[in-house]
Every structure is written in structure tokens, then in C-alpha cells.
Structure 1
């Protein structure tokens, strides 16, 4: 197992000339959001629609009771090599106050109209209490099942660190072969620590999986890298 360490310093500039990514309007008892950026992170941050291409967009409609429905297209399939994808979801969220208990549950369908047999479903649920979050998701597609557990703890004493843990299990209906054998089940996980310091946002993350060596040739989990990987990032806005 090889451990890679990457240190990156990112300085962000915030400008006022750019157009907003999301437009929000009140329509009676509904809150309507339209935009070219994802308008919702489901299950308290467990499921986040991805931003995949230049041509993307979606809408989100939320009733004051907590019910919501929406559709997001991370790729319109216009650019060569990109497939059309439509993510449709419906759910219910209840968290009126930051310090009061709240929860969310729902289902999202990932559709690929141009690909046969590629559609999949994912059910998700999350619980929130005083800034801490616990959530889970189960995704099913032809030949594969993925389950994910997420834990977020805000401002952990004594250092005031925000902690985020994610653990996922991936199970295949048929083996995935590599030069040293085959894999049917594997797991991956990640740990993220972050906190503000003197106007700089510090972020340290670690990811790993149960696969190593030649097994990484069939890795298809949530992490960017199969084997253990560390990344440190410091971010500061100049304006």
C-alpha cells in the first residue's frame, strides 16, 4: 500500500460581476428554484447531485410543509462523449430550527435515456441534531448494490474541528476480474477534518478502501483514489 500526500493552497476570489447560479421565487405555498447549479443536497449532505458538464440545469419545488420534488440534469448530452442524464427526486424534510431535531427521507432516480439498462434508484434518509448529522443511502442498479453511511459532527471540542466520516459498501452480482483474481464485495471510507483559522479555512482529508495493489484496477467506489490518500487544503477569500 502506498500513501500519497498532496498539499494544496487555494486562494479564491469572489466577484460581484458574475451571474447567480440559482434563481429563487416564491409561488404561493411553494419555493421554486431554477439554476445551472445543484439546488439541493439530499439526506443532510449524503446525496449531492453532481456537476458534470458545461450544459446543465434543473429545478426544485418545495412546499412549506416540507415536501419537495425536483429534477436535475448534470449533463445535457450536447458535448460529444457526454451522455444525457436526468436525476429526478421526491422527498420530505423537517428541520425548522438549527438546534432542534430534524430529519429527511426520499428517493432519487438516475436516468440515462441514451443508455439501455443504466438507470438506477437510490433511497436516502438523514437525521440532524444540534449541527450533527447522521445519514444513510442505498443505491440499486443492474448487477450492483451500494450502501453508504455518513456521520458529521460540527465544532468538536477542544479544537473546534468539524468532523465528517463516510463509509460505503459495494456488492456486485458477478465478480470483477483483475490480474490477481476477482472481487465481488469491497468497502471504502473517508475522514475529513476542517476548521477556520485566522480567516483561512483549513481542510484535511483521508480516504482509503479495502482493495490494494492489482485489485485497484477494478475499483469503482466513491473515492478519487483506491489506496490510502491524504490531502491538505487551505482556502482564503481575498475580498
Structure 2
């Protein structure tokens, strides 16, 4: 990133950190986490593991006021250019009223052992939810591998088929500075819970041509929260 961009990002991070720290000190905090096994780690429609399985896990420290700090990690496979993803999030989420809620924050995507220039990058994100429908936007001023400005606009919807099964729909537009690289991703899945574990089966696809990592696939995941 350019120096000015780095300074802006740092200032934003420090501001959010200050708000978060003040919130944590003024109210009770709760630690939560999750662990997931997935048959393929697809991020915005593209496999991050060469279509191989992944083990993922995260921890989150949240205050009663809605501020949170989270870390999340997964194995990745970028053709020997990196084997670990480690992300950090700082944000706020909360209910606006009985039907509406929101989530906003800043996130750093990190690849500690990657040799690709510009592999680590920042994103600002926000979403607005009405019941089971969510609209979201993420923005990076210098996306992965120094690819410039990037926007991700998406919508998610979860529909209860029965008491135990949900139909999960997703569509997202990946918009790059270079419009020829932009693409659409989507998924259709079914999820449920068995013995306290979350199970999901999803069909994932994109409109990208020429990359087997973005081809259609079916992904199975099992997760456990604690």
C-alpha cells in the first residue's frame, strides 16, 4: 500500500481499538469460538486449498455493548506460496430493533508464510440484516497481490425448510479496478444441526472462465461452536 493509505488504515484501526477497549472495560466480555472441517475452502467462490479439505478455527472476544475482536485461521494451498491464513477482525455488531441488525468493522487478511508480494491486505466491511436476509459490502484499497481497489457486494438469505433444516442462498459480485477480472459467485446449500454440530452441504459456482479453482463444486462442512 502507499504510505498515505497505510496511515489512514492505521488511524482507523487505532480509533476502533480505542472504542473497543473502552467498551470492554465498561462491560462484561464473553469468549467464544468455533472449529470447522470442510471438504474445500472456497472464498468468494474460489478454492483456497487446491480443492482439498481444510481445518479452520476462530476465537472471538465480545462485549455486551457489541464491540468484538476476533481471530480466524485456516490451512490454504497457493501452489507452495503459502500454507496458512490468519485473519484479525475488529468491529461492532448489534440490533437496531426487533427485525434489523448490523455489523461493521475492519479486517486484516494475513498469510504469514506466503511469498506473494502484497498477499497481506486490509478490508473494511459492513452488513445490514432484516430477519434472515443480509446485504453486505466489503472494500479494500489494495486487494490481494497488489490488485488495487476492490469491492465485494453480496446478499445472503436463510429460509427455514423445516424445524431442523434451512435453505441457504448466497450471491456476491467481486468488483476489481481491472473490470476484466471482476466476477460473480453464488451458492445454494442446506444446513442443519446434529448432536450440537452444524452440518452443511452447498453447491458453489462462479461465472469465471479458465480457472478450475472457480469451477462449480459441492462442499460439505461440519462445525462445532463453543
TM bucket by the smaller chain? 0.5 to 0.7
Match of 1:73 in 2: 73
Q: Give how far 1:117 is off.
A: 2.8
Q: Give how far 1:92 is off.
A: 0.3
Q: Which has the higher contact order (CA 8 A, sep 6+)?
A: 1
Q: Is the 8 A contact 1:104 1:125 kept in 2?
A: yes
Asked if 1:151 corresponds to 2:158, the answer is: no
Match of 2:100 in 1: 101
Provide the rounded CA distance (Å) in 2 between the counterparts of 1:61 and 1:232: 29
Provide the rounded CA distance (Å) in 1 between the counterparts of 2:151 and 2:206: 16
Asked if 1:225 corresponds to 2:223, the answer is: no
Q: How does 1:45-124 map to 2 (within 5 A)?
A: 57-75=57-75, 82-95=82-95, 99-114=98-113, 115=115, 116-124=117-125
Instruction: Please state which structure has a larger fraction of its residues in helix.
Output: 2
Specify which of 171, 178, 181 is matched with residue 176 of structure 2. 171
Q: Is the 8 A contact 2:90 2:106 kept in 1?
A: yes
Larger radius of gyration: 1
Provide the rounded CA distance (Å) in 1 between the counterparts of 2:103 and 2:96: 12
Q: Give how far 1:131 is off.
A: 1.9
Provide the rounded CA distance (Å) in 2 between the counterparts of 1:186 and 1:29: 43
Superposition RMSD in Å: 4.3
Unaligned runs of 5+ in 2: 1-26, 38-43, 193-198, 221-226
Q: Structure 1 residues 165, 70: closer, same or farther in 2, change over 3 A? A: closer
Q: Structure 1 residues 204, 59: closer, same or farther in 2, change over 3 A? A: closer
Q: Structure 1 residues 147, 61: closer, same or farther in 2, change over 3 A? A: same
Asked if 1:130 corresponds to 2:131, the answer is: yes
Q: Structure 1 residues 161, 76: closer, same or farther in 2, change over 3 A? A: closer
Q: Structure 1 residues 131, 120: closer, same or farther in 2, change over 3 A? A: same
Q: Is the 8 A contact 1:167 1:190 kept in 2?
A: yes
Q: Is the 8 A contact 1:152 1:162 kept in 2?
A: no
Count of residues paired in the alignment: 167
Provide the rounded CA distance (Å) in 1 between the counterparts of 2:33 and 2:218: 34
Provide the rounded CA distance (Å) in 2 between the counterparts of 1:59 and 1:150: 24
Q: Give how far 1:135 is off.
A: 1.4
Q: Structure 1 residues 172, 184: closer, same or farther in 2, change over 3 A? A: farther
Instruction: Please state which structure has a larger fraction of its residues in strand.
Output: 1
Q: Structure 1 residues 70, 193: closer, same or farther in 2, change over 3 A? A: closer
Q: Deviation string for 1:173-214 (max 9, x for gaps)?
A: 6xxxxxxxxx84331231426488xxxx996746331x44xx
